[in-house]
Structure 1
Amino acid sequence: MQITLAKSVAFTGTGLHSGKPVRMVLHPATADHGITFRRTDVVGLNPRIPALWNMVTPSKLCTLIENDAGVSVSTIEHIMAALAGLGVTNALIEIDGPEVPILDGSSAPFVAQIRRAGLRALAAPLAAIRVLKSVEVSEGVATARLEPATALEIDFAIEFDDAAIGKQAKRLSMSNGAFVRELMDSRTFCRQADVDFMRANGLALGGTYENAVVVEGAKVLSPGGLRHTDEAVRHKMLDAMGDLALAGAPLLARYVGNRAGHALTNKLLRALFVDATAWQRETCSLEQVHRLPGAGVLRPASVAAR
């Protein structure tokens, strides 16, 4: 069955890149609504932006969606990962600014609040997107690939010159709440030189050492150090989870990323959907539902009508 929130839940914070205060409220939605953002501060233009792969527009260092009226919301990857990791398929997200709050730089605060609010099952079947053949895209040394699989798997590798990160790789099946156990608390990361460059160019204005892991050579400059020794690659997997959620339905596929980022993952989804022989939409069996990322994390309290 499709899943929505049991009740509305609110978040307040600061945009990572804009540095502007923002309030965001997640509301329950009906079956087949999907995940949609609504800009409450926009007047005279269409304020709604569906969270879908074909709404993504090029942006620096984050995922940004924009509708035909030019209304946009950026840095959506962490909240999208949280929703996907909990199995939420329908929600209306009202936001009073152009950027999702960064909070602690991970998905953990979103997950915690949504779990407290609870989930509700809807009396409607859940469809998934099954990948039928491998699809791959690349940009320079970075590659991203989707392969056939019975449930979502993420396999990621990164390499940075800074010894605090270096080479890291991790592979996980996202079934049985793996996102909540393994990935949700891993924070966005960058080098101190990147921070200086971004701020000089009007970016990362809301970034702090508390909402991002900042490294310089072998040093971790953020107080408290790392939450995981491989927090960097875990966060890249978190980002991939959020960006893949823009497929519009759970993916039955293995995602393999090598130094991939937001733009490359979106390029991969576009390559997938342009090839009608590479995928199919199918109604999930009970067995498939039990292998989806949100299964077992939080049992929906009730079944509601469509």
Structure 2
Amino acid sequence: MVNTVEHLLSALEGTGVDNCCIEITASDTNDPFVEVPILDGSAREWVEEIEQAGIVDAADENGNSCEKLAPFVNVPFHIKRNDSFIAVFPSQEVHITYGINFPQVPSIGCQWFFSGVFNRSFYATEIASARTFCVYEEVELMRERGLIKGGSLENAIVCSASKGWLNPPLCYHDEPCRHKVLDLIGDLSIFAKFGNQGLPIAHIVAYKGGHALHADLVRHLS
């Protein structure tokens, strides 16, 4: 089983890569769980490596470029879990609006991010560097649940309810909200089929989402 795949998948989807081979070597051959390197907690390094390697258009047996298809949303719909929701609206371009709310942590608070027109360049400059974040007062509980085993101040931004950010500076003033967009793109990448785009052409509006709600969206789209 391979864990923590969302940042790598996000980088691939965000840069338009739909066909590649990924090889992962386990450090412990007796451990059934393998983790994708978390790096600095963002997708930045993956994007840099993809850009350095270069992207080649897929071609058929005759050498002609293969047309890349993308799913379109034709009818508005929404899904929700408690006070979290994702609403999806028809659009001619990809737009992502995302909101988070941490009233118990004033330095994060309520944030909203609107992507404008989403494309590869926008992803590389405005989303890829957003690092994963956590609330300091919740770290011990998460560790007891077996989560964030590899988490540290080097691969996450940590915010305390009383002291604010413990390892500034932030890459963006709304970095936590942008990282949620990064995660959403990675989670939606699993909707991709037969070398086509996983991110649907639509305006996606999410509030207080997470991997579970994102997965619900993929199931609904499927």
By the TM > 0.5 criterion, same fold? yes
Contact 2:100–2:208 under 8 Å retained in 1: yes
For residues 185 and 176 of structure 1, the distance between their equivalents in structure 2, rounded to whole angstroms, comes to 14
Map of 2:114 onto structure 1: 171
Letter in 2 for 1:109: E
**Cα offset for 1:127?**
1.2
Instruction: Work out the number of aligned pairs and report it.
Output: 201
**Cα offset for 1:210?**
1.4
1:90 aligns with 2:19: yes
Which of residues 90, 99, 104 is equivalent to 1:148?
90
Q: Deviations for 1:102-128, whole angstroms, at most 9, x for unmatched residues?
A: 000000010011111111111211111
Letter in 2 for 1:102: I
Query: Any idea what SS the aligned residue of 2:35 has?
Result: coil
**Cα offset for 1:176?**
5.3
Which of residues 220, 223, 229 is equivalent to 2:165?
220
1:262 aligns with 2:198: no
Output aligned runs, 1:279-294, within 5 Å: none
For residues 175 and 111 of structure 1, the distance between their equivalents in structure 2, rounded to whole angstroms, comes to 14
Output aligned runs, 1:233-244, within 5 Å: 233-244=177-188
Structure 2 unpaired stretches of 5+ = 27-33, 60-65
Map of 1:135 onto structure 2: 77
Output aligned runs, 1:24-103, within 5 Å: 72-97=1-26, 98-103=34-39
Query: Any idea what SS the aligned residue of 2:148 has?
Result: coil
For residues 109 and 258 of structure 1, the distance between their equivalents in structure 2, rounded to whole angstroms, comes to 27
**Cα offset for 1:74?**
1.6
Letter in 1 for 2:166: L
Give the structure with the larger strand fraction.
1
**Cα offset for 1:197?**
1.1
Worse-matched range after superposition: 167-176 or 228-237: 167-176
Contact 1:138–1:144 under 8 Å retained in 2: yes
Query: Any idea what SS the aligned residue of 2:57 has?
Result: strand
Query: Any idea what SS the aligned residue of 1:226 has?
Result: coil
Worse-matched range after superposition: 230-239 or 168-177: 168-177
**Cα offset for 1:200?**
2.4
Which of residues 26, 41, 44 is equivalent to 1:108?
44
Contact 1:135–1:268 under 8 Å retained in 2: no
Letter in 1 for 2:111: Q
Query: Any idea what SS the aligned residue of 1:111 has?
Result: helix
**Cα offset for 1:135?**
2.2
Letter in 1 for 2:165: V
Give the structure with the larger helix fraction.
2
**Overall identity of the aligned pairs, in %:** 36
**Cα offset for 1:220?**
0.6
Letter in 1 for 2:80: S
Contact 2:78–2:86 under 8 Å retained in 1: yes
TM-score (norm 2): 0.86
